[in-house]
Amino acid sequence: MNRATFAARFLVLSAVFAMAAAAGCDRSGQADRAVFDSGYAALEAGQWDQAVKDFSRYLRMDPDSPNRGEVYYYRGQALVHLKRPDEAKADFLRAIGAGVHEPVDQYARIALGNLYYEEANDVEAIKQYAAVLKNPHSEVPVPLVLLRTGVALQRLGKWDTGKRYLEYLVAHYPKTAVAGQAARYLQADAFSVQTGAFSSRTTAATQARQVQQAGFAAQLAPVSGNGRPLTAVQVGRARTYAEASVLANRLRSAGFDTLIVP
């Protein structure tokens, strides 16, 4: 969720707090509002620990708050920045379970899907993304969700299905930054493990011989990096990301740097 969307949701919650105060929930409501405001300010300032503390305090003060779903989402975002993914996932699930309104429910699913995606838990990532793509809210980043759905399917070896999502992305969102990434995946039908990419073809050939001497079949492939043509050393052809990961582990054990590429 971007800064503008955060601000819009903050105004909605502020209005809810104001209505609660008008209904007579004065002292308690004002205290809750102050704690929430503090947590939100910390979140916007990148003070992740303080945000977690304030949102946790808010939830303890009013565990049945109708706003708790959004607070779980905000706390989950702070936990992501603190590199506490398991706790963040639990909060995103709580946000979804609390029945938050759109688009926060979809943002929670995207955030949850992203954590699974980064862990290469592609089955769970696809489930969360699919729930969003059924009826995406206008504020959610549909191109990114399409890209990650397509790539996750490819990583599972479902190249044709993944290709359909990527083709839709390129056709309907051609001017987005992720459309260029999608085009690269559209040209592939397998994964390789890259051990290096060099401006000098001679240097690349030298490393390829070293890889071959270690017992792996290496090949040279043209790639680009920062707009410059490079020559990469690549090994293998794996149908799934899991198979490529096994090969990457073997190469790392032999002393080579690795990068799995489509």
Query: Which of 2-11, 76-85, 173-182, 217-226 has the least mean pLDDT?
Result: 2-11
- Residue 232's SS3 state is strand
Q: Average pLDDT of 126-142?
A: 96
pLDDT (tens digit per residue) in 62-113: 888 888 999 999 999 999 999 999 999 999 999 999 987 788 999 999 999 9
**Top-confidence residue, 225 or 50:** 50
What rounded mean pLDDT belongs to the chain? 89
The pLDDT value given to residue 17: 39
The pLDDT value given to residue 30: 66
Q: At what angle do helices 68-81 and 104-118 cross, to 10 degrees?
A: 30
Percentage, residues of the chain above pLDDT 90: 78
Which distant-in-sequence residues (6+ apart) come within 8 Å of 12 by Cβ? Answer: none
The pLDDT value given to residue 18: 41
pLDDT class of 114 with cuts at 50, 70, 90: very high
The pLDDT value given to residue 1: 54
91: nearest Cα among 124, 59, 69 = 69
In the chain, where are the structural domains located?
3-185, 191-261
Q: Tell me, what DSSP letter sits at residue 100?
A: P
Question: Is a pLDDT exceeding 90 seen at residue 226?
Answer: no
**Top-confidence residue, 63 or 236:** 236
Burial of residue 155 (number of CB atoms within 10 Å: 0-12, 13-18, 19+): buried
Name beta bridge partners: 232: 197, 221
Question: Is a pLDDT exceeding 80 seen at residue 236?
Answer: yes
**pTM score, whole prediction:** 0.83
CATH number of 191-261: 3.30.70.1070
Q: At what angle do helices 3-22 and 26-44 cross, to 10 degrees?
A: 170
- Residue 246's SS3 state is helix
Q: Average pLDDT of 179-194?
A: 93
Domain 3-185 shares a fold with domain 191-261: no
Give the chain's end-to-end CA distance (angstroms, integer): 29
Token pair for 134: 């059924």
pLDDT (tens digit per residue) in 195-222: 999 999 999 999 999 999 999 999 999 9
Q: Within 13 Å, how many C-alpha atoms sit on residue 161's CB side?
A: 10
The pLDDT value given to residue 2: 52
Question: Is a pLDDT exceeding 50 seen at residue 137?
Answer: yes
pLDDT (tens digit per residue) in 26-47: 444 566 889 999 999 999 999 9
CATH architecture of 3-185: Alpha Horseshoe (1.25)
